[in-house]
Amino acid sequence: MSTETIERTPPQEAVTTQHHQPQDSALRFITCGSVDDGKSTLIGRLLVDTRAVLQDQFAGITKSGETDLALLTDGLSAEREQGITIDVAYRYFSTEQRKFIIGDAPGHEQYTRNMVTAASSADAAIVLVDATKLDWKNPELDLLVQTRRHALLANLLRVPSLIFAVNKLDAVEEPALAFAHIRKQLAAFAYAAGITVRATVPVSALKGYNVVDAKAGWAGYEGPSLLQVLHTLPSTPADRDLPLAFPVQWVEKFSSSADTSQGRRVFWGRVAAGEARPGQQVTLLPSNQTATIAQVLDTVRTPSSVEAGNSAGIVLDREVDVSRGDWIVASVENTDAADDEFDDAPATQPAWPGQREVQATVAWMDDEPLVPGRVYLAQHGHRWIKAKVRRVVHRLNINTLAEEDADRLEANAIGHIELLLQEPAPVGAFQQARVLGSLILVDTASHKTAGAVLVRS
């Protein structure tokens, strides 16, 4: 397996190339693109050619000698009837080098929310580009809107690795010319959008070219296959180098003893950032009470320290009022206290202070447009807070990437908004902390998820 340079990109293209060593950890990736770009067929090809499909499963997708690979992932009856992907279908497979979790995201614009859901936890995104839908003979060809949309969404959701897979080149007359033109425009688009691209690979999902095994020289490409690239990509690291942030998911009363030398409840949840360790000074939000961590339990109730990305139970040094939805965050020295002549400032403050005013990027999913003045329910961690849309700052033009003035956002639009939360919440920039920087907005009447919010500051 090659671990050499992933992408052989001409210097004039702005695509970044990086070296990565093979990882032992599982890689979670999604495939996205327009309808009929071949996403489900590509996944079917990966499963079949890595021998992840049982013989009876393979027989089930073969009729009259014809094999329909897309049927391996189009699991819903409505999907089979319509020949499209509606919901995100997850499949698992492994090679000798690595395990993989695949999310097959829908291509229809009205199912963008499903794609956003899948991308929010992905380590990598493969954006399929159908060569037959493009004016491939034109060196200045226009990319499809969905290609731009999905690449932008993956980038906004901080998916660490993005790959363009140019599919159906076997169906054009000059695959090398088509790939050169399409690759050039993809690189130009990525450069303008500030997107780092790990690789651009020409593939034929139908015939299996460059999917699992590299087909040297085909379409003028001499690089690794798609699977070989996936082997080299890093898994998303947890936000371990940040101050502790812990959303309380469940409160367990484990003792009715009269001994109150320490708290008699365990606060369970998953560490969102940093590390929970005994002896640590913490602030409880939104109450702003302070305490010290007396004990940290792992998932088998063994006392230890627990890092971000893992579940933990926290016991505090005293009885305090903490409920599901509250946050336990690290306390840091309050530098303002030293300058306080009246010595009444607290000695510590939360490392993630509560904020009510939030600047955010939103991917709007509701059929009802987002307009200033509307109030939604925002979920941050396990806490529900009322959130009012103060202002739509701009809307992102998917075609030109320009930020345009707007006073509302329609379904599937992406824009910059200002939110006012009813209560302070310990939000952080999404680029810094994935859990702290993400919220969802829910319509208070229909209870539908209306928007995915990524905190900017």
Clarify whether residues 322 and 438 are in a common domain.
no
Residue 101: beta bridge partners?
Answer: 28, 92
pLDDT at 329 over 80: yes
pLDDT in tens, 371-400: 999 999 999 999 999 999 999 999 988 767
Please indicate whether residue 225 or residue 348 has the higher confidence score (pLDDT).
Answer: 225
Distance CA 207, CA 139 (A): 26
Clarify whether residues 428 and 311 are in a common domain.
no
Distance CA 185, CA 134 (A): 11
Clarify whether residues 177 and 279 are in a common domain.
no
Clarify whether residues 74 and 104 are in a common domain.
yes
Phi, psi dihedrals of residue 421, rounded to the nearest 5°: -85, 145
Clarify whether residues 267 and 366 are in a common domain.
no
Indicate the number of domains in the chain: 3
Domain encompassing residue 316: 245-335
Beta strand pairing call for 27-32 and 124-130 = parallel
pLDDT in tens, 30-80: 888 877 778 888 888 888 888 777 666 666 666 666 667 666 665 544 444
Whether residue 160 is preceded by a cis peptide bond, meaning omega within 30 degrees of 0, is no
pLDDT in tens, 219-252: 999 999 999 999 999 987 788 899 999 999 999 9
Clarify whether residues 55 and 134 are in a common domain.
yes
Q: Which residues contact 450 (CB under 8 A, 6 or more apart)?
A: 364, 365, 366, 368, 370, 376, 440, 441, 442, 443
pLDDT band of residue 4 (cuts 50, 70, 90) is very low
pLDDT band of residue 437 (cuts 50, 70, 90) is very high
Q: What is the DSSP string of 251-286?
A: EEE----S--SS-SEEEEEE--BSEE-TT-EEEEET
Clarify whether residues 277 and 197 are in a common domain.
no
* Average of per-residue pLDDT across 191-198: 91
Clarify whether residues 249 and 228 are in a common domain.
no
pLDDT band of residue 14 (cuts 50, 70, 90) is very low
Q: 302, 252 in Cβ contact below 8 A?
A: no
Clarify whether residues 284 and 390 are in a common domain.
no
Clarify whether residues 49 and 193 are in a common domain.
yes
From the centroid of its chain, how far is CA 328? 24
Distance CA 255, CA 262 (A): 11
pLDDT in tens, 82-99: 544 445 667 888 898 899
Q: Hey, what are 386's tokens?
A: 């009322």
Q: Which residues contact 285 (CB under 8 A, 6 or more apart)?
A: 326, 327, 328, 329, 350, 352, 354, 424, 425, 426
